């Protein structure tokens, strides 16, 4: 899906007829986690689903796959002393998802991306994950979306 066809949020942060964006990010994270555990591509996991998820879930997954190399490079540079393989799996996946949104020039506002990522990390990872994710994303955001 090209950036021009990315579904945009309607009232209350939901796509037309879809779930709120937070729930869509949760679903995208769960699919990324499933792919990680299975050692498969997130797009292969997506294609294997009996029912395709909401459009924004697909957009998030496609973005995370398309930007993975750049995201990993940026995450590694911002996380001094924490190699990717040493990070908690959920933290790494949340960061990849958020960096994909940050790199999308038509994506959600910076504060929304960071807040959503921090909330996902706090909910699904360790006690310190929210602060860790916030610090990494703040560093990356200053480079990707300055000013």
CA atoms within 13 A on the CB side of 118: 14
Sign of the Cα torsion 66, 67, 70, 72 reads negative
Is there a domain that residue 14 lies in? no
% the chain with pLDDT above 70: 87
Residue 67 main-chain phi, psi, to 5 deg? -105, 10
How many domains in the chain?
1
Is there a domain that residue 76 lies in? yes
Interior angle at CA 7, CA 102 and CA 53, nearest 5: 95
Contact assessment for residue 6 and residue 106, using Cβ atoms and an 8 Å cutoff? yes
Contact assessment for residue 28 and residue 45, using Cβ atoms and an 8 Å cutoff? no
3-class secondary structure per residue, 62-117? HHHHHCHHHHHHHHHHHCCCCCHHHCCHHHHHHHHHHHHHHHCCCCCCHHHHHHHH
Is there a domain that residue 8 lies in? no
Is there a domain that residue 128 lies in? yes
Output the pLDDT for position 28. 97
Contact assessment for residue 66 and residue 96, using Cβ atoms and an 8 Å cutoff? no
Output the pLDDT for position 18. 61
Question: What is the extent of the structural domain holding 29?
Answer: 19-144
Nearest by Cα to 95 from 126, 121, 61? 121
Output the pLDDT for position 82. 87
DSSP string, 23-55: HHHHHHHHHHHHHHHHT--HHHHHHT-SS---H
Is there a domain that residue 133 lies in? yes
**Residue 10's pLDDT band (cuts 50, 70, 90):** very low
Is there a domain that residue 44 lies in? yes
Output the pLDDT for position 126. 92
* CB contact set of 143 (below 8 Å; sequence gap of 6+): 74
pTM, to two decimals = 0.87
């Amino acid at each position: 899906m090209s950036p021009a066809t990315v579904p945009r949020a309607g009232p209350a942060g939901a796509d037309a007829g879809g779930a709120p964006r937070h729930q869509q990010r949760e679903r995208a994270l769960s699919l990324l986690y499933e792919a990680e555990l299975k050692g498969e591509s997130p797009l292969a996991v997506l294609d294997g689903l009996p029912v395709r998820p909401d459009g924004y879930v697909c957009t998030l997954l496609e973005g995370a796959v398309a930007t993975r190399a750049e995201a990993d490079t940026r995450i590694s540079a911002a996380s001094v002393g924490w190699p990717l393989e040493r990070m908690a799996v959920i933290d790494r996946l949340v960061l990849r998802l958020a960096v994909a949104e940050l790199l999308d020039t038509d994506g959600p506002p910076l504060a929304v991306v960071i807040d959503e990522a921090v909330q996902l990390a706090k909910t699904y990872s360790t006690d310190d994950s929210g602060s860790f994710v916030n610090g990494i994303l703040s560093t990356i955001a200053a480079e990707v979306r300055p000013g």
